[in-house]
Structure 1
Amino acid sequence: MPGPVLARRGFLSGAVGLAAALTLAACGDDDTAALPTPTTGQAAQSWTFTDDRGKKLAQPKIPTKIVAQVGAAAALWDFGVRPIAVFGPHKLADGSKDPQAGNVDITKVTGLGNVWDEFNVEQYIALQPDLLVSSMYLKGTLWYVPEKSKDTIEQVAPAAGIMLTGKTATQVISRYEELARTLGADMAGVPEAKARMEAATKELARFKDLKVLMVSGGADAFWIVNPPEYPDAVHLKDAGLDIVTPSKVDEGGFFQTLSWENADEYDADVILYDTRTQALKPEEMMKKPTFAKLPAVEAGQLYPWNAEAPYSYQGYATFLEGLLANLKKAKPLK
């Protein structure tokens, strides 16, 4: 969900020189030899993949040293691909794993950055990666790849972008599955997880009478999700849930920004709140009087929403099953 992050951070400009970074990498150590191999049993064959920017990527052999934005890494991990490094929110302040990392074992990958605009270019070059993978909310903009250093980063290794905006979750998952297959993924557990996701999706139709509002809270703003822009929201709507669509959206179309004083702009039986690190926690939002008085909040029908659930069958099965467990406790308020 790019809106709140991009609204606060803005797009950055400029580039980092490649020469200095390459020199530093050449003077570094050979720790990359000890890094885990992402996949095993891959034949020495050529590799191609056309990403969602329309870029046809080609390598003389299947990439094994893969670096991925944490959401992309979580998706690939569930398909059996093991990235050697990640960037984006993967570690919480106490050192534990950020939920956005999904099933990625963060003790076995290198962290190149944990927050917006943080990407250790020198360390990335030293890893000698074969491929970088990231999702995209804006076509051509790799999520969490800093604008100021993107040119340098894309000179080091080919980069594959998977588009999220305007897609269904199933479409995005299929693209990650396609990419994973080209990388020699073993697909262990995929059929079972796909069946779980499909079963949970069908069950969502039982709750079509509930009006659901998807939100994210910031210190000075309350963001209302515009469903067509997010694969998870599209998936929920397609499954039969009544997801509130804001009457007016900000430039870019991802959300509507409200002041906390206007947090009661929309009625809902259920509120799903963004659980990512940068979003306000429920107890913090409850300090906002207008929010605390919302019928769904007073009724205790305020439930977590993993706004960047891994785009894999495992990731979505878990997300949907958790949502179902909460919706079973809810009821229409009018």
Structure 2
Amino acid sequence: MGWEFTDDRGITVRRTGRTGRPERVAAYVRAGAGLWDLGVRPVAVYGSGHDGDEPDRAKSGSLADVPYLGAGRTLDSSAIASVRPDLVVDVTYDGQQPYAVTEAAAERAGAPVLALAVGADTSLPRILARFAALAAALGGEPAGHEHELAETEGAVRSAVRSVVPVPPKVLALSAAGPGQVHLARPRAWPELRRLAELGVELIEPGEGGANWATTTWEQAVALAPDLVLADVRGNAAPAAELDSVPAWQALTAAATVRPWNPELPCSARAYAAFLGSVARTLEELAAKGA
């Protein structure tokens, strides 16, 4: 019996005859973490050009025991072939190219690539539905976290209503270092856009790039956020590097800071945890202002 799945680029991977569904899946770490939550264990994961020789634990999470094949230039066909994958699963931001692997490298390793969309034009419900569909096609079992996600979305709405008429302003950012900060454009990140749809007031950072506006820490302070969602991935500057920056000190003194992973696993479980954290923080802010 054959197996097939069409990805978000319109590319269909087929396995005909007796081969059946793929059993050995290698995946970009974010995609792999999502599949893990959905009942599919990857045989290996790999990073992107932002990652290093070791996996970024902010992105890999529960995949600590899964082999890591490398990232960027260190990820070649021999590394992929070493785990004998039947399939490589990646994400795509532009709907055309896999984000973290080249199809040429995967092809030389003998494995086709499926890439699911996670970019700015893709809604959070769509992302989660597509990963759930792929996991089901790969033999995964639903974990029932969709109900949990719906509950946390309701909690966000409730928390927003509790702080009306002056809702907290939320700024998402990624620290570039002591001299610069990348401020996120809410519409470019599905989870931030979802928060906005639920009533959270996300700060627009002003002119700049497509996903981020790169500016000074002083400008971040001037935006006067009540809540800062700070990038915790390994490619963001750690807080220890910012301790001597006066503007960072001013920002953290005036605002509550909570972690944000812009590359959360693509599963209802992961997003429920993130949205739940935001809801609890909004409730804390409401209690302080009462």
Common topology (TM > 0.5): yes
Q: CA deviation at 1:70?
A: 0.6
Match of 1:235 in 2: 194
Shift of 1:211: 0.9
- Shift of the 204–143 alpha-carbon distance from structure 1 to 2, 3 Å rule, reads same
Partner of 1:218: 176
- Shift of residue 320 of structure 1? 1.9
Residue type at the aligned position of 1:153:
A
| Structure 1 unmatched ranges of 5 or more | 1-44
Aligned to 1:328: 283
Counterpart CA distance in 2 for 1:313 and 1:194 is: 6
Cα offset, 1:284, TM superposition: 2.8
Structure 1 contact 173–312 (Cα < 8 Å) conserved: yes
1:311 aligns with 2:270: no
Map residues 1-334 of structure 1 onto 2, 5 A cutoff.
45-60=1-16, 61-88=20-47, 98-104=57-63, 106-107=64-65, 109-113=66-70, 115-145=71-101, 150-155=103-108, 156-165=110-119, 166-187=121-142, 189=143, 191=144, 193-208=145-160, 209-219=167-177, 220-250=179-209, 253-294=210-251, 297-331=252-286
Q: Is the 8 A contact 2:94 2:117 kept in 1?
A: yes
Q: Which runs of 4+ in 1 moved over 4 A?
A: none
8 Å CA contact 2:76, 2:105 repeated in 1:
no
CA–CA distance in structure 2, aligned partners of residues 285 and 52 of structure 1? 39
Cα distance between partner residues in 1 of 2:4 and 2:188: 29
**Alpha carbons of structure 1 residues 205 and 286: separation in structure 2 relative to 1, 3 Å:** farther
Give the secondary structure class of the aligned counterpart of 2:284.
Answer: coil
Quick one: which amino acid aligns to residue 225 of structure 1? Answer: A
8 Å Cα contact 2:226-2:255 kept in structure 1: no
Per the alignment, in what secondary structure is the counterpart of residue 143 of structure 1?
coil
Contact 1:197 1:317 in 2 (8 A): yes
Matched residue type, 1:168: S
Q: Normalised by the size of structure 2, how large is the TM-score?
A: 0.86
SS in structure 1 opposite 2:5? strand
Alignment CA distance shift 1:138-1:96 (3 Å)? closer
Task: Output the CA distance in 1 between the equivalents of 2:205 and 2:255.
Answer: 23
* In 2, Cα distance between equivalents of 1:151 and 1:304: 36
* Unmatched runs of 5 consecutive residues or more in structure 2: 161-166
Check conservation: 1:207, 1:240, Cα contact below 8 A: no
Specify the SS of the correspondent of 2:69: strand
**How far off is 1:290 after superposition?**
2.0
CA RMSD of aligned residues (A): 2.3
Distance in 1 between the 2:93 and 2:43 partners? 24
Q: State the identity as a percent.
A: 27
Q: 1:270 to 1:103 in 2, by over 3 A?
A: same
User: Offset of 1:221 from its aligned partner?
Assistant: 2.2
Summarize the Cα distance change of 1:80–1:152 in structure 2 as closer, same or farther, 3 Å threshold. Answer: same
- The amino acid that maps onto 1:157 is A
How many angstroms apart in 1 are the aligned matches of 2:274 and 2:263?
Answer: 10
The 2-side partners of 1:235 and 1:118 are apart by: 35
